[in-house]
Amino acid sequence: MDVDSTLPAVRSGKPAASRRTGPHTENALLGWILVVGLSLLGFVLLSVGSLAAAPAWPRFVFLALGAAGVLAYGVLVFPFFRRLERRLPEGEEQWGRLEEDLIASFNQLGAGDLVRSTAHTRGLPERLAKISEAASEALSQLAQQIQDSSIEVASAADAVNEIASELASGSSEQAASVVEITAAMEELARTASQIAENAGRQAELASRAEASGDAGSAAVFEAVTGVEEVQKRISAIASRADALGTRSKEIYRVLDLITEIAQETHILSLNAAIEAAAAGADGRRFSVVAEEVRHLAQRSQESVESVRNLLDEFSGSIRATIVATEEGSKEASRVLERSRAAAEAIEDLRRASGDTSRVAQQISLATQQQNAASDEVVMTLREVSLVVQRMTGGLKNLSTTADRLNSLGLEIQLLAQSFHLASPRSLKHLVEDWARRVEAAPSQEERAQVLDELVGGAPFVELGYFSRLDGTTPILSFNRDLLNERQRSLANKVHDTDVRTRPWFKAVSRHWRTTLIPPYESMQNSEACFTVCTPVRDGAGKITAVLGIDINVTGWTRI
């Protein structure tokens, strides 16, 4: 704020003092004329009233009081005003000085220099100086708080922006994940439907298998029964064959007996033949009989042998039959055993088929329920997806808002930095302090060294440059943590530039005050930065150069 423009009347100074010199005398004369006039008016009015009936002494008393008043005014009041009028030029001169100090103070205040504004209040009256200093101090504290708060706001907004960006990114990923989960659940639902369908088919097949198992079990049971009957028949055959064997042995015994009888008969016939031979001619016919008996015995023996042979064959057949029946019985037992095992296997298979059918039905039911649950989950996930999408949009808006808040905080910070405060956080104070240190160095090299140290110790300063009024820049310092080799080579081009054409130089040279240039994109690293520059004065107060520093916004907000 320019005080010169807001207080034009105050800036006139002298005319105001001359305008205040005359009224003291004029006031004294007007007071005297007023007292005399009022005395005369009272006398006239009393004189006109006494013409009719009033006595004359009140008129004389009032006249005497008027004369006494005129006399007292001329003796006491008029000399006071005269003395006051003689001292008025000195007071007006003192008032002018106070007015000048006050204007200068307001001008510094209007320029935002809360440090120098208090320097001009030393000539003011003590009370006014205290009030002015208190106002500057309050304003300084307010600006300081605004600076601090704006930095905190910018930092908080940056943090919120970062968190919101992360949350938005996370929400986007979450939304994508929800979409994938939804697709997976839909696929799961379809798979569950297929499983339910397949389980239903399997249950039907298992039911058929169970029915087939029942039929197979019945058939096997019949087969087992048949085999058992066959085994009984075989056992009966074996028993009968055994009985035949026993009978055959009896027949053998009978044959043996017959054979023995035949032998005995044979021997008997031989003895008869012997006796017949001993009888001579008489025994000739007897010998014939004996011979016939021998023949009979021989045929009997031959028949017995034939019967024995037949009986041998018969016995062999019976033995073969017995062996065959035993083998058949054993085979029937094996078949029966296998049939029973097959029956048990079929029964197990039937039970397994029944269990499979029931389990398949349960699976079908469970998968149908799973399908329904999956549909509900899919619907819920779609709602969740919508919520997440809305949340993502909200977070993006929050991020945008936080970004805007960060920008606002930065703008507030820059506005607060337009005040020159006696604080290390005041960039104007900082750059002026640097300017004094650099100027205090005796040589060019030492100035460059001082500036390098200062820039290196301030992590938020990209560049520091010391430019002379002829447009040259003899000293240029880099912050190597912020600028790489290529960026530093770009910055070195300032040596070939007449800085008097640069906006910052023009802004400083306009009023030769410390100036803050609004943010712009850095030529070196394309990041946001702003410039603070100040005139450099020598010991005599003469401006000899301009010191500028480029502040990296990100680094500054981190500080």
Partner 1 sequence: MPAMPEMSEMSEPGESGKSRREGTHLLVRAGEYACALPLASVRRVVRSLTVHPLPGATAELEGLAEFGGEPLPVLNLGRMVHAPAGPNPAYPVTVVVWVGPAEAREMLGLAADAALEVVHVPPASVVAGDGGFLLGEAPVGGEVVRVLNLEALGRTA
Chain residues binding partner 1 by CB under 8 A are 259-260, 263-264, 266-267, 270-271, 273-274, 277-278, 280-281, 287, 291, 294, 298, 301
Q: Can you name the residues that pair with 532 across neighbouring β-strands?
A: 516, 549
Q: Which residue's CB is nearer to partner 1, number 182 or number 259?
A: 259
- For the CB of residue 333, give the shortest distance to partner 1 in the complex, in Å: 43
Tell the smallest beta-carbon distance from residue 274 to partner 1 (Å).
5
Q: Nearer Cβ to partner 1, position 301 or 399?
A: 301
Nearest-CA neighbor of 360 among 198, 543, 187, 176?
Answer: 198
Work out the end-to-end distance of the chain between its first and last CA atoms, rounded to an integer number of angstroms.
29
Q: For the CB of residue 248, give the shortest distance to partner 1 in the complex, in Å.
A: 20
* Residue whose C-alpha is closest to residue 38's, from 72, 57, 65: 65
- Which are the contacts of 67, defined by CB distance < 8 A and separation ≥ 6? 39
The sign one gets for the Cα dihedral 401, 402, 407, 411 is positive
What does the block give as tokens for 489?
């080579």
Query: Least distance from C-beta 236 to partner 1, angstroms?
Result: 38
Quick count: other Cβ atoms within 10 Å of Cβ 541? 6
Q: Name residue 163's amino acid.
A: I
Measured CA to CA, the distance from residue 49 to residue 544 in angstroms comes to: 88
Give CA–CA dist 218/220, Å, rounded: 5
Q: Which strands, in side-by-side order, build the sheet including 515-521?
A: 475-478, 461-468, 543-552, 528-537, 515-521
- DSSP symbols for 68-137: HHHHHIIIIIHHHHHHHHHHHHHHHHHHHHHHHHHHHHHHHHHTTBTTHHHHTTTTS-HHHHHHHHHHHH
Nearer to partner 1, 98 or 270 (CB): 270
Strands 461-468 and 543-552: antiparallel
CB of 311 to partner 1, least distance (A): 16
CB of 270 or CB of 441, closer to partner 1 = 270
The residue (of 254 and 274) whose beta carbon lies closer to partner 1 is: 274
Instruction: For partner 1, give the closer residue by CB, 283 or 409.
Output: 283
**Shortest approach of partner 1 to residue 314 CB, angstroms?**
21
Minimum Å gap between C-beta 288 and partner 1 is 8
3-state SS assignment for residue 462: strand
In the complex, least distance from residue 285 CB atom to partner 1, rounded to whole angstroms: 12
Q: Which is nearer to partner 1, 28 or 273 (CB)?
A: 273
Q: Which is nearer to partner 1, 280 or 442 (CB)?
A: 280
